[in-house]
Each structure stands twice: as C-alpha cells, then as structure tokens.
Structure 1
C-alpha cells in the first residue's frame, strides 16, 4: 500500500504552515520554527532584508515558541526601520575577513600596493587592541585608550601620516561591518588625527648633488672585495636614476624591469617612459634624458644583454630586473651601501637627520620646483603623490625662490617715470 504524503496544514489563527513535526513556517515563510535532532526545544530563524537571523526560543510548546518568534521578528523589523543594529560582531572576526579580502585583491593583481600597509596595520595594531570589542561599541573612550596603547607599543608619538594609514585601515573594517549589518552608520566613530607633524624631507642642494655625483665616480671603483666594487657601481647608477626620475626607492625602483621601459615620441622628440608599480599602484613617468646613459652602463655589465643596441633591448621587452649586480643577482642591501657612501663623502656630517636613498626622490622634487619650474600638479602625476603632500613637504619653497618664473618676461624696456611735484616734496 502506497504511503500518502502529508499535506501542509495552515493554521488560520497563527498564519502558520506545519511542514512537518519539526518544521513550521510563520508569517508567509519570513519566520521559520524548526527542531534539531535530539532536542525538544524550538529554534527559529527569520528573514530581514534578505538575510536570515537565527535565535533560540527556549520553548518546547509550539504555540509559545511561535508567539515568541513572531514577537522577536516584529521587534527586529522595528529596530531595523529605526536604524538600530540587531546583532553585532566582534571586531577581530570582522577584521580578519577584511584582511583576507585585501590579500585576495593583491594576489589577483587588482589590489593597490597600499593594501599591504593596511593589512600590516590591522594585524599589528587594530586586531591586538580591538579584537574583543563589538564593532558597534568602538566609541570615543575606546579610541583614546587605543591612542595611549599604540604610543606605548611604538615608544613614540606616531606621525600624522602614520595615523592617517591607521584611520583608513580602521574605516575599511568598520565600513565592511556597516555593509554586513553588524553596525549602523550612527555608530561610526569620528576618527581624529593628532599625530606629530612631518618634517621636511632631507634633500641634497644643487651643489651637494654635484659633489655627490663627482665623488661617486671615484668611490664606485674602489673596494676591498669584488662584491664591494659591484655593489658600489650598481649603487652609483641606482642613485642617478632615482635622482633623475623621482621614483620611490624599493617598491618602485627595485621592481623595475627592462620591459617596463620604452620610448614615447612627443612633438618629434623621443622620451624614456617608465611604468612603475608601487605604493599608489601603476603609473607612467618620464625620465630625464641623461638617464639613458645610466641605463646603458647597467646594460653593458650584463653579459646576457650587453651586445644588444639600447633600442633593441627595449623592443625585446626583456623580463629581467634592471638593477642587478654583475653576476645577475638582485640585492636588497643598497641602503647599507648608501650609508657608507654618505659616511665616506661626509655629506651627512653634522646633520641631525641623516639622508637616505629616499632623499634622492625629494631632491628630484626640490630641484624640479626650484630649477625647472614644474608646477605641483604636473609633479604630483610624475611622482605618484598628492598635491597636498608635495605642498606639505616642499612648502619651504617660497615665491622668492621662483621669482623669475612668477615675474615672467618683461614686455619692452623699463621706462623711468618722472617724479611729480608732490613726489619731490
């Protein structure tokens, strides 16, 4: 005898549909009662804005459980309409999801280089302090405690630029929490930035830069070992390229490959264009003409490409790093060799803040403004930074420094004005 299928029974009084003895639909399916195996108590879930929320009614009686589930559902709808969060999440759990999202974007090639900074900030500072806070419970007091704790961890007052990165990383976590319904916009804290002001970057003056380039010519040929000589000759060209392009040391320069360099022609003249990938993502920049000399010197030290003409080298789009030693290996120790260069040249002597390889980028910006009259808007595109950042670091360039550019060309000869009677008096 064939078994008849149970027909769901709809209760007119409770507007419920008993699908089985362990599953009941309420409110047209927006509220569901169900019983787990080996449990006599009813669990419930309800749908709000297309998301399911789960609760325990702690009731064995079906009518009581149905009434409680519906009351909780009605209250949740009211709170949602009033923009009040129903359920929250711990900061640590939410932050780990955001870290994974950022890393996934980096791994796919779509993420920005600055995502590495946000990941480091979240893992090193935000999760250790806020991990057990509810995301909707991070208020002014919690942020003040975090400021004190962070200063202790860093053993100094962080700079304004550092706090900006921390605030941006924190906002990414909190905004994701808002998107997921774990907190409301009304709970979003107002993040302050009272970090110490950044000092102007130490750069080389024009005369100091000339002294540096002259000194490196002799210094790069000396060394107790062949390795030292190889490091010095590579550093010389590395310094010259940095100072004549405005590239960032490290992320942009050390990641540069021959395939990233090509000629572009504008108004009948050729220019070397670099495609770099660093802190702010990919961008194109134009190198000064003499950079070709430094690149050809590097090329001639590499046996694999030494016999190519420079133009053919660029046309072949060789997938090898530009800044390599004679043996074909790359190095991450150019910063140490540069410190020896500063020591031997005496160019850091008596300075409170030592120059580093980053100083060459700032030298480029300084001389571009002073000697070449490049406006900050064009310079920001070339260097991959914002106009406010350039104005912050190079605000010491006054109108008097660029008076010849501001005054412009004289229109005709100066004609002295004869004094009037009142002038004579």
Structure 2
C-alpha cells in the first residue's frame, strides 16, 4: 500500500471496519463518504454517494464483500480482477439549485419513527399518564405530523424543516368567514412540537439519527407574564349572588335543581380551590366534615384524585353548607359523584349575562377561574404561599409566576417607601440658606 494514499486517509475523517481491512473516509470540502481497501496487491477506492455515515458504512461493507469475491475468482483462474477496473474517483461538483430531481436520502423515515414511538409510548406510560394524554399523542401524529413529514428521511429533518412545519400550521387553514389564516392556539402548537421532539428522541435512541435538531422557536421574544383569569372579591360576590337568584327563580321550573346545584358548585369551588376535573371525580366517600384543631372551625377534608394523582385538600368553612345541600338534595350514596360533569354551558350563560366572560386583559373566564380566585383570595388575606401551594397540589413557583405577581398585598410598602436620612450638618446648612420672611 502506498504511503501517499494512507497519509491522505489519515488527514481525512476516517473509520476502520472489518478488523481494519476496510476504511470509510470523507475528504475535506466533500459531502460524500468514500471507502477503500487493499486487495490483490493494489488499493481499491470507491465513492459511496452517501452523506450519512451509517448508510455509507452499509454500502462499504457490501462493496468490500464483492471485492473479496472478485479477488477469490481471480486467484482461482476465473474473472480477472482487472476485467472490471475501478474508475478513479472524481470529486462531484457542489450541486446548483437548477430544479432537477435529486436522489432521495436513504434510511429510516419519519413514518418508521412514529410507529416505533407510538408502540413503545403506550406500553411504557401505561398507568403513569392519563389516557387522554396518551391518545393526544396519536392524534398529533395522525392528523398533523404524518401528513406534513410523511416519508421524509429522518436525516433530512433539521431545524429548517421544523420551522417550515410551524409556518405550515399557521397558514394552512383558512377561516370560512374572513378568509384569513386560522392559527392554532399557542398551547396546541406547543403540544405538537413536544410530540415531534419525542418521536425524534425515539429515533435517536434507536441509532437512526445522531442528534436531535434545534427545535426552539426563532424570533421569539421574552414572553410577558400574565396572570390567570380570576374574580376579584367584588366580582365573585356578583357571581354567587347571580347564581343564588337563578336558583331561587330559574328560567324554567324544571331547571330548578340544576340551578341550585350550580350555585352550590360556585360556592364549593371558591372555597376549596379544586380543579374542575378534580371536582368531577369527587365522590361522597372522599369528603369528611371535621373540626380543625388549629383554627377551631368546621371544614371539609377532601381526598382529591386528579392530574397529580391522589392528594388532599382542607377547605374554607364556607364549603360546608353547599356540600350538605347537594348531599341532601341528591340523597347521595358513598360511591356517587357529588357534582359530576363540569357545568361549562351554565357557567358561560351566567358570565355572559353579567358581562364578566372576559377580564380587563381579555382573558377568558371559565370554571377553572374559580380555582384561581381561591388562590388569589387566600394570598390577599395573607395566607402562607407554601401552605396554599400544598393545599392546591401545585408548586410555589407556579403561584408566584401566575397568581402572586399582580396582587398588591405582596408588595411591602415599608420596604419600598424608604427615605435615606440626611446628615445634620447638611440639613442645617440648607435651613440657613432659606430666605427669611
């Protein structure tokens, strides 16, 4: 083997295969990998026409085996090795965007990765994640990701391709009335990007891609922190007074029980801080009326089952009366749900009548706003933020980020309105400089 050839290979990016008998390397300023071996007292070189290292290695192994067969035939008097001479490699020019059809990349496709992801995700997360969350991953893949990426090779999915997907989702649907693009909600697009990242992580674990592309959103500025929609003490009073009046005088007589239950629901949620899905799961056996030792008041102790698993909640005293009314009205058994399905439609109707569907910042108020109201009212009353977070099964960070930043009681005026004391000599000199009357 010539010294010149091996000195060139050592300067290029090179990998040894087949116990060192085969080498895969790539020259500087070249997109394609090449392979070489030493057989029959001479060097053999061949371009793989592959930009992926994994695909180039597969090509090199097949090429090496063919060369070994030719060399064996030559030694046995068969086809001479030089009957099919290896053409010298000519570096290919950098392609120009002339619109001609290019060779498609080889290797696993995005569709292969999604199949592998869905097969393992459902099994691994069984019992650990909510069934609806697991199903949402399948919907993201089937409805949005697969139609866009399709049979695209995984190695061709880069940061630019991910950005193309964002643009596609923002412009692909048109509003039937206005004809303008109908953009998905920020949380919707974020969920789809999370699913895309999980699919690519699956491909990376299987060795189909060497790294996950940058999936951060470009041109993104620092987002403004906005508080969650809630009811101020005055607004909350207007809400439960309106639900009380509706319970006394329902629009139709047959709606009386529904309106009475909704009034109790508003009071119960505003005094417990439960999430709507948690209140929908609560059964009679999960609630106990106890005398609290620390406050001496009668409260509810609730065993909560929701997005964070099983937790516990201690209510305000105001939650007892609505709970007892619902229990007695429905004659509940221990396994019966207290409220059941979240009354979204009735909540929207009452908010529209009161013109309180949106807060002053344009945020939509829903049944979830009753939980936000509970947290904000507790902080306004000076409750310990850690205890509030523990009672609501959330974190102090979440409360500080989304609830506590807009509450005026969190600002200590004595720490803000500080005046630096001036030296006596300076104060006396300024006093002497004042003109006398």
Coarse TM-score class (shorter-chain normalised)? 0.5 to 0.7
In the alignment, is the contact (CA less than 8 A) between 1:261 and 1:272 conserved in 2?
yes
Aligned to 2:146: 127
The alpha-carbon deviation at position 277 of structure 1 amounts to: 3.5
Residues 239 and 401 from structure 1, CA distance in 2 versus in 1: closer, same or farther, beyond 3 angstroms?
Answer: same
Aligned to 1:310: none
Q: Distance in 2 between matches of 1:378 and 1:156?
A: 42
The alpha-carbon deviation at position 62 of structure 1 amounts to: 12
Aligned to 2:193: 167
Aligned to 1:244: 271
Q: Distance in 1 between matches of 2:284 and 2:60?
A: 60
Query: Secondary structure at 2:272's aligned position in 1?
Result: coil
Aligned to 1:201: 228
Aligned match for 2:318, one of 277, 290, 307: 290
Aligned to 1:228: 255
Query: C-alpha offsets along residues 157-201 of structure 1, whole Å, 9 cap, x if unaligned?
Result: 55554444333322222222222222223x443433749767433
Residues 289 and 114 from structure 1, CA distance in 2 versus in 1: closer, same or farther, beyond 3 angstroms?
Answer: farther
The alpha-carbon deviation at position 419 of structure 1 amounts to: 9.2
In the alignment, is the contact (CA less than 8 A) between 2:289 and 2:320 conserved in 1?
no
Query: Secondary structure at 2:199's aligned position in 1?
Result: helix
Query: C-alpha offsets along residues 79-101 of structure 1, whole Å, 9 cap, x if unaligned?
Result: xxxxxxx9842223322443344
Residues 418 and 396 from structure 1, CA distance in 2 versus in 1: closer, same or farther, beyond 3 angstroms?
Answer: closer
Aligned match for 2:242, one of 210, 215, 231: 215
Residues 132 and 199 from structure 1, CA distance in 2 versus in 1: closer, same or farther, beyond 3 angstroms?
Answer: farther
Residues 145 and 350 from structure 1, CA distance in 2 versus in 1: closer, same or farther, beyond 3 angstroms?
Answer: closer
Aligned to 1:319: 335
The alpha-carbon deviation at position 396 of structure 1 amounts to: 4.1
Q: TM-score, normalised by structure 2?
A: 0.61
Residues 423 and 63 from structure 1, CA distance in 2 versus in 1: closer, same or farther, beyond 3 angstroms?
Answer: closer
Query: C-alpha offsets along residues 240-287 of structure 1, whole Å, 9 cap, x if unaligned?
Result: 2222222222x2221222233346887566753333343444433332
Find out whether 1:257 has 2:283 as its counterpart. Answer: yes
Aligned to 2:209: 183
Find out whether 1:369 has 2:379 as its counterpart. Answer: yes
In the alignment, is the contact (CA less than 8 A) between 1:161 and 1:198 conserved in 2?
no
Aligned to 2:129: 111
Map 1:313-392 to 2 at 5 A: 318-324=334-340, 331=341, 334-348=343-357, 352-375=362-385, 377-392=386-401
The alpha-carbon deviation at position 338 of structure 1 amounts to: 1.0
In the alignment, is the contact (CA less than 8 A) between 1:160 and 1:197 conserved in 2?
no
Larger relative contact order (C-alpha < 8 A, sep ≥ 6)?
1
Structure 2: segments with no counterpart, 5+ residues? 1-17, 20-57, 73-104, 174-180, 416-420, 432-437
Query: C-alpha offsets along residues 205-228 of structure 1, whole Å, 9 cap, x if unaligned?
Result: 111112222222221232243442
Q: Distance in 2 between matches of 1:66 and 1:292?
A: 91
Residues 259 and 403 from structure 1, CA distance in 2 versus in 1: closer, same or farther, beyond 3 angstroms?
Answer: same
Aligned to 1:192: 217
Give me the CA root mean square deviation: 4.2
Aligned match for 2:410, one of 398, 402, 409: 402
Structure 1: segments with no counterpart, 5+ residues? 1-25, 28-52, 68-85, 306-317, 325-330, 409-416
Aligned to 1:275: 303
The alpha-carbon deviation at position 140 of structure 1 amounts to: 1.2
Find out whether 1:423 has 2:432 as its counterpart. Answer: no
- Stretch deviating more after TM superposition (136-145 or 94-103): 94-103
Residues 356 and 97 from structure 1, CA distance in 2 versus in 1: closer, same or farther, beyond 3 angstroms?
Answer: same
Residues 101 and 230 from structure 1, CA distance in 2 versus in 1: closer, same or farther, beyond 3 angstroms?
Answer: farther
In the alignment, is the contact (CA less than 8 A) between 2:162 and 2:215 conserved in 1?
no
Query: Secondary structure at 1:272's aligned position in 2?
Result: strand
Residues 158 and 64 from structure 1, CA distance in 2 versus in 1: closer, same or farther, beyond 3 angstroms?
Answer: same
Aligned to 1:40: none
